[in-house]
């Protein structure tokens, strides 16, 4: 066992002595030592209950004959960080979390690890750490938040609150209605209830095979999740005994399975960013053209919020991720020989049952014949841009709009709330990319403002930043190269025409070549930002969104 390096032989007596200071017995030292990597804190609603999950995991490890030792990582709530400078510190934590886990696991010679994430950057960070270290690994997330019905029969989620602010600004609702939505939209602990980034990544972790069935969809408050956590603790001991490591499960087969699932579910655009980074860590091929190839032959089977009225609790009730995988397998898209933490995927799918066709459509009668995401290319995005196609009104699939240019998110939001954005406009928010932001801020505030004010069928938004999974409408992010790197988005001027053609995966600035060359010769002005500490270091190290916003080697 790996842990023998800290517990075997006379020369390790000092190490054993220190471990015994924690109350660990000689008998415990004879067993596999398992890290329980927890992201609990009292700030993030998706993480406030993770102590209960970790207790269940440790119970499972103990029951199966292992010795669990727990440590924590940081976790930022994107919703609380949204719309101000706090969002600069969201994406950049992905690398911090992965690095800190590497340090802890390597320094203390663990035999395996159970990872307990839940929200946005924590899930991909832990996945990256798992493949980087290549230990026996298993995941159990905290699970999704519930969505409850309001007095009008609508099921609310966090996005309901963001959009309600836009409705208030437009005079469509009053302060009383906003307060009611605020009080009821987030009724329980858990990751926000739609197919937003956190739930997208948790569902894809299940599809990849590192989480047990139900890991992505069982609601946070269900006792079923506690039982699943105990089972995950038991599973990790078997993985250690069989020496099945993270890279035995995360490979080209399972990543493609995850991408097919991604397209069928209509996941967050952020999944492209995180899967690219995961493949980089795992030394697996990944490019944005592959996303379009898979999307072209994968129908969109689910319309979960923000694309539709269903939430993750509905997906769970309908059969969950395993039912989606089985439907994709019926069309020959899934490689069921892929290994999971509980055997081959083919074994998992044998017992899957569908519960109705209201939430998960059949392959023959999908919501659309193509997947939920699309990558656009053109002169303004030579390295790609990403849109959640399933959340865009078909009216906006092929439009030419007038550029309204802003060098930061805050200025754009003021213009939207101020009634300065009109039908037919394309809001351009730049210098918000990985390096230029820095941190590639999510733009849920401006997109929710557009939607809340009833403009989402008439106004597009493009940015070198990114979007929350809760974003809906013609919101095109990850424009690469970013403005700070001299991408063409830096040279867009107020009043320029921009052509967006989602049908053909194209986005272009409709300005002549000579004019573009003239503008480039004149150069562009970068907004002055005083950077210090980790943000300054991050800005210097991070690469393009087109390759996952990874660090330079």
- Decide if pLDDT at 289 tops 80: yes
pLDDT digits (tens, 9 = 90+) for 233-266: 999 999 999 999 999 999 999 999 999 999 999 9
Compute the CA torsion angle 229, 235, 237, 238 (nearest 10 deg): 180
Judging by beta carbons within 10 Å of its beta carbon (0-12, 13-18, 19+), is residue 453 exposed, middle or buried?
A: buried
The tens digit of pLDDT for each residue in 11-46 reads 999 999 999 999 999 999 999 999 999 999 999 999
The percentage of residues in the chain with a pLDDT greater than 70, rounded to a whole number, is 100
Q: What is the mean pLDDT of residues 309-328?
A: 97
Annotated catalytic residue within 39, 147, 468, 544: 468
Task: Please write the tens of the pLDDT for every residue from 402-418.
Answer: 999 999 999 999 999 99
Task: Output the pLDDT for position 256.
Answer: 98
For residue range 201-244, what is the model confidence (pLDDT) as tens digits?
A: 999 999 999 999 999 999 999 999 999 999 999 999 999 999 99
Dihedral angle computed from the Cα positions of residues 463, 464, 465 and 467, in that order, rounded to the nearest 10 degrees: 50
Q: Please indicate whether residue 17 is annotated as part of the active site.
A: no
pTM of the predicted structure, to 2 decimals: 0.96
Place of tokens 């190290």: 541
- Quick: pLDDT tens for 345-363: 999 999 898 777 899 999 9
Asked if omega into 481 is within 30° of 0 (cis), the reply is yes
According to DSSP, the β-strands at 381-387 and 398-406 are unpaired
469 closest CA partner among 241, 203, 183: 203
Which of 401, 385, 389 shows the shortest CA–CA distance to 458?
401
Residues 292-299 have a mean pLDDT of 97
Cβ–Cβ under 8 Å, residues 392 and 502: yes
| Per-residue pLDDT, 151 | 82
Question: How many whole angstroms separate alpha carbon 380 and alpha carbon 489?
Answer: 6
For tokens 């970068």, the residue is 526
pLDDT, mean over the chain: 96
* pLDDT, position 540: 96
Contact 354/386 with Cβ under 8 angstroms? no
Task: Tell how strand 137-139 and strand 112-116 pair up.
Answer: parallel
Percentage of the chain beyond pLDDT 90 is 95
Closest C-alpha to 85, from 407, 405, 408? 408
Q: Is the pLDDT of residue 152 over 90?
A: no
Q: Could you report the per-residue pLDDT of 427-452, keeping only the tens digit for each?
A: 999 999 999 999 999 998 899 999 98
Please list the alpha-helical segments (H only) found in 368-424. Answer: 409-417
- The answer to whether 76 touches 121, Cβ cutoff 8 Å, is yes
Location of structure tokens 């519930």 = 146
- Rg, Å, the chain Cα set: 23
As given in the structure block, the two tokens for residue 12 are 């390790």
| Cα–Cα distance measured from residue 239 to residue 205, given in angstroms and rounded to the nearest whole number | 17
Helices (H), 134-251: 158-169, 175-184, 197-208, 223-242, 246-249
The token pair at 85 is 């400078």
């Amino acid at each position: 066992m790996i842990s023998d390096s800290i517990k075997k032989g006379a020369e390790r007596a000092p190490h054993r002595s220190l471990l015994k200071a924690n109350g660990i017995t000689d008998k415990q030292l004879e067993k596999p030592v398992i890290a329980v990597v927890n992201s609990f804190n009292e700030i993030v609603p998706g993480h406030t209950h993770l102590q209960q999950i970790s207790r269940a995991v440790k119970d499972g490890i103990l029951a199966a004959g292992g010795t669990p030792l727990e440590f924590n990582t940081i976790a930022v709530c994107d919703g609380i960080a949204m719309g101000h400078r706090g969002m600069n510190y969201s994406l950049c934590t992905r690398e911090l979390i992965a690095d800190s886990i590497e340090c802890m696991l390597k320094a203390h010679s663990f035999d395996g690890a159970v990872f307990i994430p839940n929200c946005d950057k924590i899930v991909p960070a832990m996945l990256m750490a798992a493949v980087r270290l290549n230990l026996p690994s298993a995941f159990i997330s905290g699970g999704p938040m519930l969505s409850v019905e309001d007095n009008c029969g609508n099921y609310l989620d966090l996005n309901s609150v963001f959009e309600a602010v836009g409705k208030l600004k437009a005079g469509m609702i009053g302060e009383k209605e906003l307060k009611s939505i605020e009080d009821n939209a987030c009724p329980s602990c858990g990751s926000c209830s739609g197919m937003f980034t956190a739930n997208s990544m948790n569902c894809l972790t299940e599809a990849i095979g590192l989480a047990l069935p139900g890991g992505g969809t069982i609601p946070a408050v269900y006792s079923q999740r506690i039982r699943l956590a105990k089972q995950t603790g038991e599973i990790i001991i078997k993985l250690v005994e069989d020496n099945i490591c993270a890279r035995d499960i995360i490979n080209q087969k399972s990543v493609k399975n995850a991408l097919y699932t991604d397209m069928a579910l209509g996941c967050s655009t952020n999944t492209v960013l995180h899967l690219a980074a995961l493949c980089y860590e795992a030394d697996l091929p990944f490019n944005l053209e592959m996303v379009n190839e898979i999307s072209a032959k994968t129908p969109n089977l689910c319309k979960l919020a923000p694309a539709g009225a269903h939430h993750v609790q509905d997906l769970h009730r309908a059969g969950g991720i395993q039912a989606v995988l089985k439907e994709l397998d019926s069309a020959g898209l899934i490689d069921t020989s892929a290994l999971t933490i509980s055997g081959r995927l083919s074994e998992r799918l044998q017992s899957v049952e569908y519960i109705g066709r209201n939430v998960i459509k059949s392959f023959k009668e999908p919501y659309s014949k193509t997947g939920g995401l699309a990558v656009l290319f053109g002169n303004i995005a030579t390295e790609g841009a990403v849109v959640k196609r399933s959340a865009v009104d078909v009216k906006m699939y092929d439009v030419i709009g007038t550029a309204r240019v802003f060098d930061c998110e805050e200025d754009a939001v003021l213009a939207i709330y101020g009634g300065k954005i009109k039908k037919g406009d394309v809001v351009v928010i730049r210098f918000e990319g990985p390096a230029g932001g820095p941190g590639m801020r999510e733009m849920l505030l401006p997109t929710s403002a557009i939607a809340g004010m009833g403009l989402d069928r008439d106004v597009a938004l493009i940015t070198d930043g990114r979007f929350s999974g809760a974003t809906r409408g013609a919101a095109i992010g990850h424009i690469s190269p970013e403005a700070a790197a001299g991408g063409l988005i830096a040279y867009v001027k107020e009043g320029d025409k921009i052509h967006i053609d989602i049908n053909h995966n194209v986005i272009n600035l409709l300005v002549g070549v000579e004019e573009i060359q003239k503008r480039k010769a004149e150069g562009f002005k970068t907004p002055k930002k005083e950077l210090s500490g980790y943000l300054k270091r991050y800005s210097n190290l991070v690469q393009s969104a087109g390759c996952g916003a990874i660090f330079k080697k």
